[in-house]
Amino acid sequence: MITARAHTNIALLKYWGKKDSELILPYNDSISLTLDQFYTDTSVEFSQHLKKDEISVDEKPLTGSGLTRAKRVLDLVRGQAQIHTAARVYSTNHVPTSAGLASSASAFAALAAASAKAAGLTLDKRALSILARHGSGSASRSIFGGFVHWHAGTDNQSSYAESIQSKVDWDINLITVLINTNEKKVSSTNGMQSVVKTSPFFPAWVKAAQADVAPMTEAILNKNLAKLGTLAEENAMRMHATTFGADPSFTYFQPQTLAILNTVRNLREQGVKCYSTVDAGPNVKVICAKADNELLLTQLAKIVGHDALSICNPGPGVTYL
């Protein structure tokens, strides 16, 4: 039995919309930061004593689309390893599921790494990112630590993630604001599909997001927090604008989401370098320098309380336990 650990990542430039749902090919490139606080541990063994795959998450049998996607990854591993053996999978999520904190990213990155090694495969990180992508697009990025670039690509082999900066040696961290950790009413997958099909804002979103890739990469390499944060906040707001434009319209924002966004903007106007990003969920991530953590924690706690706040530093890529 092989056990792998993968951490969640937060997209600074978002993945939002698939141009190929089978291969999970995105419309645009994305850039993320892997975090140290939230992760998934997954153990996999292939056993001839099993008649079918047995997959559990947090000690509960996996069902629905999650089961379908997990079996897809396992089938790809079996195909590459030329085996037909069923697998036993135990997964433990140290991150709220389906709450906009990239739980699927860490989950499927860990599954890809553990299952590949358990089947006797020796895959480099690029190949692992391609494998993980078949479970969840953002999982391709969680194979790597630090800042990561996922190339949209045009086919299975050209859609992969790679490291921009694996060891982050400059002053940047995130404060996660957990407003609601319940499962979302509109899943990321369904939200993407609705936006792609019905939102007139979607083509403009894709164009703007792709145009941001080069300046975001430059900001990372130049250790420019202000430029990185500005690009990330603009990208997030444009992504959420596509949900307001969908038919029927929907939003992941909740009242406290808006309150946090306003607080961050107000603090920035007062000279604090802090920037918001929001994925497909109500929870906000505040990008900032470590020197401003205490000030931000004090102000944000007035809205959600201290227990809802966590400081996250850049995290590592996938490891074996």
pLDDT of residue 37: 87
pLDDT of residue 26: 97
Give me 56's structure tokens.
């559990």
pLDDT of residue 100: 53
CB of 90 closer than 8 Å to CB of 61: no
CB of 202 closer than 8 Å to CB of 195: yes
Over the Cα atoms of the chain, what is R_g? 19
Q: Which 3 state secondary structure label does DSSP give 127?
A: helix
CA angle 184, 142, 170 (to 5 degrees): 110
pLDDT of residue 185: 85
Question: pTM to 2 decimals?
Answer: 0.94
Whole-angstrom Cα distance, residue 61 to residue 300?
37
CATH numbers and ranges of domains, the chain: 2-169 (3.30.230.10), 173-312 (3.30.70.890)
pLDDT of residue 184: 79
Question: What residues of the chain score a pLDDT lower than 50?
Answer: 98-99
DSSP 62: -
pLDDT of residue 182: 78
Helices (H), the chain: 64-81, 103-118, 125-133, 139-142, 188-198, 202-211, 213-221, 225-244, 255-269, 293-304
Whole-angstrom Cα distance, residue 287 to residue 173?
6
DSSP 314: B
Whole-angstrom Cα distance, residue 68 to residue 48?
21
CB of 277 closer than 8 Å to CB of 232: yes
Whole-angstrom Cα distance, residue 41 to residue 157?
26
Give me 265's structure tokens.
């903007």
pLDDT of residue 96: 61
Find, among 180, 175, 126, 209, the residue nearest to 310 by Cα: 175
pLDDT of residue 97: 56
CB of 251 closer than 8 Å to CB of 240: yes
Q: Which 3 state secondary structure label does DSSP give 97?
A: coil
For 107-165, what is each residue's pLDDT tens digit? 999 999 999 999 999 999 999 999 999 999 999 999 999 999 999 999 999 999 999 99
